[in-house]
Amino acid sequence: MTTTLDSPLVERLRALGNRYHDKHPFHRALVSGELTPEQVRAWVANRYYYQKMIPVKDATILARLPTREQRRVWITRLIDHDGTTGNEGGTHKWLMLARAVGLQDDDVTSGRLISPGARFAVDAYVNFARDHSWIEAVASSLTELFGPEVMSKRVAAIAEHYPWIDRAGLAYFEDRIPLAKRDADSALSWVVAEATTPELQDACVAALAFKCDVLWGLLDATALQSGFFR
């Protein structure tokens, strides 16, 4: 693991944190307490589509992983999002957030509140995972390198600036923080072990850059839909 953390490839991947969506004006406004309730609801509704499609993306990757050991690790991602009996999973917890901000389940799950731009961005990510090599698809998931710290700050900011949101609705983030770190550690070790040529390393860096663009595009679409950009 020490070698992995010291890898020049890891340095290149981590440097892409400067493109992560916490730099987006909409996200900055969210954590600064500047969004209206309707803008917060637009963020939750659009992001639901991303949450819903993450296990679809992960199932696509799972089917192409070359070893049983890797599949045993990766399948936990599907379970984390889709849940099991007695543990409904992350997508359900996102619905709890939707309720906490005043949305009805059917409004969210029906998809009628999702902007076309948000749908396009998320679908592009699923297609990327399907159409590229398994190691590029795994590399694209490494926005989880940046996620835990951002989620921690987001939870604190929402609790401070949006007291009208029921704190129980933040369970998704609170539960996801340790899971994201776990997932990033395993995916990163695979990328470093597999991407041993300059070409593969460049492809993995490009994959993560693409994922950052997906998340940025998702917020662009949300901001436009909610009237944030005027």
Distance, in Å, from the CA atom of 14 to the CA atom of 104, rounded to the nearest integer, reads 38
- 87: pLDDT confidence band, cut at 50, 70 and 90? confident
Distance, in Å, from the CA atom of 217 to the CA atom of 1, rounded to the nearest integer, reads 33
Q: Is the pLDDT reported for residue 3 higher than 50? A: no
Q: Helix or strand or coil: residue 24?
A: coil
CA angle 141, 53, 92 (to 5 degrees): 105
**What dihedral do alpha carbons 150, 151, 152, 155 form, nearest 10°?**
130
Tokens of 178: 């340790």
Burial class (CB in 10 A: 0-12, 13-18, 19+), 130: middle
Only one residue has tokens 């999973």, namely 89
Largest Cα–Cα distance of the chain, in whole Å? 51
Tell me what pLDDT residue 1 has: 39
Alpha-helical segments (H) within 7-36: 8-15, 25-31
pTM reported for the whole predicted model: 0.94
Tell me what pLDDT residue 230 has: 77
The residues with which 87 forms a beta bridge, in sequence order, are 84
Distance, in Å, from the CA atom of 92 to the CA atom of 54, rounded to the nearest integer, reads 13
Of the given ranges (12-16, 86-90, 144-148, 162-166), which has the lowest mean pLDDT?
A: 86-90
Q: Could you tell me which residues come within 8 angstroms of residue 163 by beta carbon, excluding any fewer than 6 positions away?
A: none
From the list 83, 199, 98, 81, the residue with the least C-alpha distance to 141 is 81
From the list 220, 15, 99, 185, the residue with the least C-alpha distance to 107 is 99
Q: pLDDT of 15-63, one tens digit each?
A: 999 999 999 999 999 999 999 999 999 999 999 999 999 999 999 999 9
CA 106 to chain CA mean position, Å: 22
Tokens of 81: 């999002």
Distance, in Å, from the CA atom of 47 to the CA atom of 41, rounded to the nearest integer, reads 10
- The residue-averaged pLDDT of 193-214 equals 97
- List the domains of the chain with CATH numbers: 7-225 (1.20.910.10)
Distance, in Å, from the CA atom of 107 to the CA atom of 114, rounded to the nearest integer, reads 10
The fraction of the chain above a pLDDT of 70, given in percent, is 97
Q: Is the pLDDT reported for residue 5 higher than 80? A: no
What value does the mean pLDDT of the chain take?
94
From the list 152, 144, 153, 134, the residue with the least C-alpha distance to 211 is 144
